Structure 1
Amino acid sequence: MELRHLNYFKAVAEELNYRKAAERLFISQPGLSRQIKQLEEELDVQLFERDKKHVTLTAAGSYLKSEVDFVLNHLETTKVQLKEIAAGREGELRIGFLGSASNQILPELLHRLTDAFPKITTSLEELSNQLQVEMIQKDELDLGFVRLASVPGELEKKAVLRDSFSLVVPKNHPVQVSDFHSLSQFSEESFILFSSDYSNFYYEQIMGICREAGFQPQVRHKSVHALTIFRLVENGLGVAIIPTSLKEGYDLKVRFMEIPDSSQFTELSVIWKPENRNPVLEKVLSLI
């Protein structure tokens, strides 16, 4: 078995179409079929079910796909680390994060990292909760900052920030902080919320806060980006509920008011895979 066999298998497994996979790999379709046949003969298993119209993975093929993702991602990580070491740096840490982590937690971590390990570089990418989990499982990320109640068993999770919720209203809204006694005062307002794509758990928490106040919110707009939500509030399209820490770092014509007497809170957590072999990760975990 050679590395090219794994790359060819990965392309077919993702495309489930030999013609498209061959075009992606810049090889002929008959040539690709021969390579897959060689791999099946080498492993002594059938990896694909194939007829004139469809290509599907067998059970063995599905298992190999997850393993190939891990192997190829690990090889790519190794190549990056080798280049970092050759350039006199200690390595690279790949971090995924939700936008709310970039206001306080992430900058603080990067400051600590720079002070403790100045030769470590970072690659940062804002991603949804689910995508971070999937990429950490595949070793495409080393760390993730998420808002999730739980993660798959092979990952570790540690809460790094416990946060209350705040209401965001236009600056000219008649209800002032001193007048804000209950969320029920806004039961007739239109709401702009983080989409359930951001975090289904978080979305349900917001629904719970409104139920506690005795109403079902009229959700008019959804987004996965805080700035978009704030802009919509600024333009009078509704009010929003956000983690209180998100109010930092914006200069907009909105007002943030912490929701009084709510039993709900939200946690920002860091997640990682203990089996991740990036040598930089262990050093950074000590800072967290």
Structure 2
Amino acid sequence: MELRHLNYFQAVAEELNYRKAAERLFISQPGLSRQIKQLEEEMGVQLFERDRKHVELTAAGAYFKREVDFILNHLEITQKQIQEIAQGKEGELRIGFLGSASNQVLPDLLQKLNSRFPKINTSLEELSNQIQVEMIQKDKLDLGFVRLASVPEDLEMRAVYRDTFSLVVPADHPISVDTFQSVGQYSDESFILFSSDYSNFYYEQILGICRDAGFSPRIKHKSVHALTIFRLVENGLGVAIVPTSLKEGYELNVRFMEIPAITQFTELSLIWKPENRNPVLGKVLSLI
């Protein structure tokens, strides 16, 4: 078995089409078929179920794909790491985050990182909760900042920031900070919420705040981006409930009002995969 066999297998497993996989690899389709057959003979198992119209992974093939994805990704990481070392750098940390983490938690971490480990570079991607989980499981991210109640068993999670909730209204809304007592005062308003795709747990918390105030919110718009939500509020299309920390970093014509006397709070958590072999990860975890 050679590395090319793994690359060929991965292409077919992703495309589930020999012609498309061969075009992607710039080799002939018969040549690709021979390489896959060699691999199956070497492994002693059938990796694909195939006929003239369909190609599907067998159970063994599906397991092998997960392992091949890990192997090829780890080789790519290793290549980057040795290039960093050869250039006198220490390595790279790949971080996923929600927008709210960029206001306080993430800048604090990066300042500590630059102070303690100036040779560590970071790659930052703003991503949804679920995509961060999936990328960390596949070793395509090292750390993630999420708002989730739990994560799969192969990941670790540590709460790093507890936040209150605030109501966001247009700046000229007649209910002011001084007269704001309960979310129930807004029961007749349209609401703009983070989509449940952002975090179903978080979405249910927002609905719970409204239920506790005696009403079910009339949800007019949903988005996974805070700026979009704030722009809609600014233009009078509704009100929103968001983590209080999101009020930092936006210069918009809206008013944030922390919601009093509620039991709900939201936590920003750090997640990572203990089996991650990036040598930089252990150093950074000590800073959290």
Match of 1:281 in 2: 281
Tell me the amino acid that sits aligned with residue 64 of structure 2: L
Q: TM-score, normalised by structure 2?
A: 0.99
1:51: Cα distance to partner? 1.2
Residue 58 of structure 2 corresponds to residue 58 of structure 1: yes
1:204: Cα distance to partner? 1.1
What is the alpha-carbon distance in structure 1 between the residues aligned to residue 242 and residue 192 of structure 2?
A: 10
User: C-alpha deviations, 1:187-241, integer Å up to 9, x for none?
Assistant: 1111111111111111111111111111111111111110111011001111001
Question: Where has structure 1 moved over 2 Å in runs of 4 or more?
Answer: none
1:14: Cα distance to partner? 1.0
What is the alpha-carbon distance in structure 2 between the residues aligned to residue 19 and residue 222 of structure 1?
A: 40
Any idea what SS the aligned residue of 2:286 has?
helix
1:11: Cα distance to partner? 1.1
What is the alpha-carbon distance in structure 2 between the residues aligned to residue 21 and residue 196 of structure 1?
A: 35
Q: For 1:189-208, what aligned pairs fall within 5 Å after superposition?
A: 189-208=189-208
Match of 1:68 in 2: 68
Any idea what SS the aligned residue of 2:121 has?
strand
Q: For 1:157-196, what aligned pairs fall within 5 Å after superposition?
A: 157-196=157-196
What is the alpha-carbon distance in structure 1 between the residues aligned to residue 207 and residue 31 of structure 2?
A: 55
What is the alpha-carbon distance in structure 2 between the residues aligned to residue 46 and residue 170 of structure 1?
A: 62
Q: For 1:122-133, what aligned pairs fall within 5 Å after superposition?
A: 122-133=122-133
Any idea what SS the aligned residue of 2:178 has?
helix
Tell me the amino acid that sits aligned with residue 26 of structure 2: F
Any idea what SS the aligned residue of 1:79 has?
helix
Match of 2:38 in 1: 38
Percent identical across equivalent pairs?
80
1:268: Cα distance to partner? 0.3
Residue 102 of structure 2 corresponds to residue 102 of structure 1: yes
Match of 2:259 in 1: 259
1:163: Cα distance to partner? 0.6
Match of 2:224 in 1: 224
Tell me the amino acid that sits aligned with residue 195 of structure 2: S
User: C-alpha deviations, 1:149-208, integer Å up to 9, x for none?
Assistant: 011111110000011100000000001011111101111111111111111111111111
Any idea what SS the aligned residue of 1:222 has?
strand
Aligned residues: 288
Q: CA RMSD in A?
A: 0.7
| 5+ long unaligned stretches in structure 2 | none
Any idea what SS the aligned residue of 1:179 has?
coil
Match of 1:28 in 2: 28
1:98: Cα distance to partner? 0.6
1:21: Cα distance to partner? 1.2
Tell me the amino acid that sits aligned with residue 119 of structure 1: K
| 5+ long unaligned stretches in structure 1 | none
Any idea what SS the aligned residue of 1:268 has?
strand
Tell me the amino acid that sits aligned with residue 70 of structure 1: F
Tell me the amino acid that sits aligned with residue 132 of structure 1: Q
Tell me the amino acid that sits aligned with residue 58 of structure 2: T
Match of 1:77 in 2: 77
What is the alpha-carbon distance in structure 2 between the residues aligned to residue 109 and residue 178 of structure 1?
A: 36
